[in-house]
Amino acid sequence: MPDLEELRKKVRKLQSRAGTAKMELHELAEDLPVNWSEVKAVAKRTFDVFAEPDAAKRELSALENSG
C-alpha cells in the first residue's frame, strides 16, 4: 500500500497531466473547424487522463479516512 505522501505526489502529477490534456483539447476546439476529425480521439484521451487523478483522489481519500 502506498504511503500517504507518495499518493499525494501521484495525485499532483496526474492532475498536472490532466491540465495538459485539457489545454490540448481546448486548443483543438479553438482551431475548429481545422482538424475537426481529431476531436473524438483527443476528447477520449482527455477523458482517460482525467479518470486517473479521479481514481487516485478516491484512493487518497480512503487512505486518509482509514488512518
| CATH code of residue 32 | 1.10.287.660
Count of domains for the chain: 1
Any idea what the Cα angle at residue 43 is, between residues 29 and 31, rounded to 5°?
Answer: 15
Pairwise pLDDT comparison (2 vs 61), residue with the higher score: 61
Mean pLDDT for the stretch of residues 7-19: 96
Judged against a pLDDT cut of 80, whether residue 19 lies above it is answered with yes
Per-residue CA distances from 26 to 14, 19, 21, 32 (Å): 18, 10, 9, 10
pTM, rounded to two decimals: 0.82
User: Domain range holding 35?
Assistant: 4-66
Model confidence at 1, in pLDDT bands (50, 70, 90)? low
